[in-house]
Amino acid sequence: MNDAPATPVAPALTVLADEAAYAAAVQLAVDAAATYYGDGTSPLDDDAYDRLVRGIEAYEAGHPDQVLPGSPTGKVAGGAVTGDVPHTVPMLSLDNVFDPAGLERWAAGLERRLGREVTAWSVEPKLDGLAISVRYRRGRLVQLVTRGDGAAGEDVSHAIGTVVGLPGTLTEPVTVEIRGEVMMTAAQFADACAKRQAHDGTTFANPRSAAAGTLRAQDRPYACELTFFGYGALPLPPGDASDLADRLRTLPHSRIMDQVAAWGVQTTAATPVAGVVAATVPEVQARITEIAEARATLPFGIDGIVVKADLADDQARAGFGSRAPRWAIAYKLPAVEKITKLIAVEWNVGRTGIIAPRAELKPVEIDGSVITYATLHNAADITRRGLMLGDHVTVYKAGDIIPRVEAPVVHLRTGDEQPIAFPEVCPNCGAAIDTGQERWRCVRGRACRALASITYAAGRDQLDIETLATSRIQQLLDAGFITDFADLFTVTREQLLTLERMGATSADKLLAAVEAARSRSLSRVFCALGVRGTGRSMSRRIARRFGTMEAILAATAEDLRAVDGIGPEKAPVVVEELAELRPLIDKLVAAGVNMTEPGVVPATASGTADGAAAGPVAEPPLAGMSVVATGTMTGPLAELSRNQVNELIERAGGKASSSVSARTGLLVAGEKAGSKRAKADDLGVRIVTCEEFAALVADFR
């Protein structure tokens, strides 16, 4: 019984009680989509996201006057991503169904729209990767572009040569665009993890995030292989074969895929889940069942099955909606579930004092990996689910990635199960627990996990205090010299010399690094605070909006909502966090730590300066310009990381981009600039050396 998979259930929708719940759901969906389409991670699994979006759609249908402009409904990728390279034809998403009844309803609706029966259905696996368009000119591979927001994507042509299944030259000299999915096979993922482990001691989280990161990476000292499977083709103007465009517009989809394979591009034709043509919906459902059963044995990930009207005339008559074609649907497979036993619950304290439970499970294999621990969210979640120690529980991989406990299997209870004991004091320090919200927190907040908090603040992307190792921070804490990272700025040389294994040279180096950190930009200081719901990019946006820490502290939740990415749910949390952090910020000010963002006029609480929008004193040199930095930085920029170069671009008024397009205003060419420089030359983009760029933005360094 323990090893039997739980019966998958089609997802219901998340019921939204009022306008506030709807607004919070929209923000959650947008944030989840942004991470999912950005680095492959997400706070929500696929089923939870689908339920959430369906709930949003249902609420909007009943309250059309309350629809928010940022709603993910009706948008490709939930409106979460954009790009610089326009698509010749929009790359749309697919609508979803979750069970045979949903498939039948969709098929019947399509046939009603056509006014006739569909006699040929294409049935293919829905590959779990990243959609890209691949452009060939006269048979030669010239460009790779991500889907982006459907209208335009990101140029990732630097990945050419690392993707299995994409030949550099087709078997015919045609000008064509192949669309498909880039992913990592299980073997490629294992190899990528081994390379990353050897490089920095870490591994990738999962194949999808590894593929997303690898496709965009340009500066890694190691190369990881990717795999491509094509799922469509369309003419890429101007075409060289006069009849190619007509053929691609009139051939059935299945015949187009045969042509794509004949050109030498990899499709699923040689896999156990090859695309087939079915004559009826029952035949479609039979093939769906076959693909779903093969899922666990495949060397690559799938998360569903794509069903399309195969004939070109049916597709043309059905047309397109705003975000998806009407002639295709994704039949989503549920997350893989199994039944195992809940052995214990651990209570861990995070960097900000949040107390989070984690389930210890009887080891169970799910989708090729052995699961021993799983997420439980919080105490209220445990209560809602009615979990007990010793319960048999359904466990699934959210988005096929993060193990989570779904629910107890009540009919398997024996009577020996015991209630889960909730902590009465902080498990880390023994202080009281603030239970006023669902996410319990130690009343000492960050002070409870001072080591983690200070280590984070001193990190490279925050204050970047070189030579300050975690072990040294622990020494300073144990000696009573510091209680938070603000105290680092008041530690004396005499105090440092009393520490074990701390000589005069090491003490002087550390003091110099701390002194350098005193003048970091406001965005880095704000990031070091570790405000919940913010990170490196958000900290830069907040700093650019308000200009000074004083203006940020005076901002209301409504003021903060003017910052891109801060919605109605996140804004009050930031205000609350800043109020809590006020003593720490005051200590930083007293220690002489910089509290202004270079090149920005100090703003009022409403985000304005002297009645005008906050912004540079004079128009900065890169105002409104898309800037790409490529190659190895030299001269005055040699010591800057790529992230620091991007920060410099933004401080000087520009937008840092990773790809060259017709909209690129400037390319900073370091050593071995390569293909990006060549493309910039072709497009007539202005190119400068590192030294020229450094002089251009000297006032913003």
CATH number for 30: 1.10.287
DSSP assignment of 519-537 equals T--HHHHHHHHT-TT--HH
Q: Is residue 542 part of a domain?
A: yes
The token pair at 235 is 């003419």
Other Cβ atoms less than 10 A from the Cβ of 218: the count is 14
Whether residues 692 and 570 fall in one domain: no
Beta carbons of 1 and 414 less than 8 angstroms apart: no
Provide the CATH number for the domain around residue 510.
1.10.150.20
Active-site residue, selected from the candidate residues 126, 332, 397, 676: 126
Whether residues 150 and 295 fall in one domain: yes
Give the three-class secondary structure for 424: coil
The token pair at 133 is 């368009």
Cα dist from 240 to 90, 139, 166, 172, 255, whole Å = 22, 10, 20, 11, 20
Distance between CA atoms of residues 230 and 91, nearest Å: 14
Whether residues 306 and 391 fall in one domain: no
Strand (E) positions, 59-192? 85-86, 96-97, 121-127, 130-137, 140-146, 152-153, 163-164, 176-183
Given 389, 416, 439, which residue is the final one in a domain? Answer: 439
Whether residues 328 and 342 fall in one domain: no
Whether residues 327 and 192 fall in one domain: yes
Model pLDDT, residue 144: 94
pLDDT along the chain (701 residues), means of 10: 37 74 81 60 57 83 82 61 76 88 94 94 93 93 88 89 94 94 90 80 67 83 92 79 78 94 94 93 93 85 92 93 89 76 92 88 78 87 86 71 74 87 92 88 86 90 90 92 93 94 93 94 92 81 90 92 83 88 93 88 49 50 87 88 82 78 87 83 88 88 74
Q: Is residue 89 part of a domain?
A: no
Model pLDDT, residue 37: 55
Provide the CATH number for the domain around residue 637.
3.40.50.10190
Whether residues 204 and 122 fall in one domain: yes
Given 486, 517, 548, which residue is the final one in a domain? Answer: 517
Beta carbons of 597 and 548 less than 8 angstroms apart: yes
Whether residues 490 and 560 fall in one domain: no
Beta carbons of 361 and 340 less than 8 angstroms apart: yes
Please list, in sequence order, all residues whose beta carbon lies within 8 angstroms of the beta carbon of residue 147, skipping any fewer than 6 positions away: 76, 77, 81, 83, 91, 130, 131, 132, 133, 153
Provide the CATH number for the domain around residue 381.
2.40.50.140
The token pair at 61 is 């249908």
Q: Is residue 618 part of a domain?
A: no
Whether residues 502 and 527 fall in one domain: no
Q: Tell me which DSSP letter residue 636 carries.
A: G
Q: Is residue 458 part of a domain?
A: yes
Model pLDDT, residue 447: 82
Alpha helices in 63-177 (DSSP H): 100-114
The token pair at 637 is 């920029």
Domain that holds residue 649: 626-700
Q: Is residue 620 part of a domain?
A: no
Q: Is residue 675 part of a domain?
A: yes
Please list, in sequence order, all residues whose beta carbon lies within 8 angstroms of the beta carbon of residue 513, skipping any fewer than 6 positions away: 465, 466, 467, 468
Q: Is residue 88 part of a domain?
A: no
Q: Is residue 3 part of a domain?
A: no
Whether residues 350 and 384 fall in one domain: yes
> Which residue has 């299980």 as its token pair?
186
Whether residues 575 and 671 fall in one domain: no
Q: Which of 475, 435, 484, 434 is nearest to 456 (CA)?
A: 484
Whether residues 526 and 510 fall in one domain: no
Given 279, 299, 332, which residue is the final one in a domain? Answer: 332
Annotated catalytic residue 341: no
Beta carbons of 544 and 650 less than 8 angstroms apart: yes
Model pLDDT, residue 204: 66
Model pLDDT, residue 140: 93
Name the domain count of the chain: 6
> Which residue has 């804004």 as its token pair?
571
Model pLDDT, residue 613: 41
Whether residues 189 and 325 fall in one domain: yes
Beta carbons of 588 and 489 less than 8 angstroms apart: yes
Q: Tell me which DSSP letter residue 155 carries.
A: B
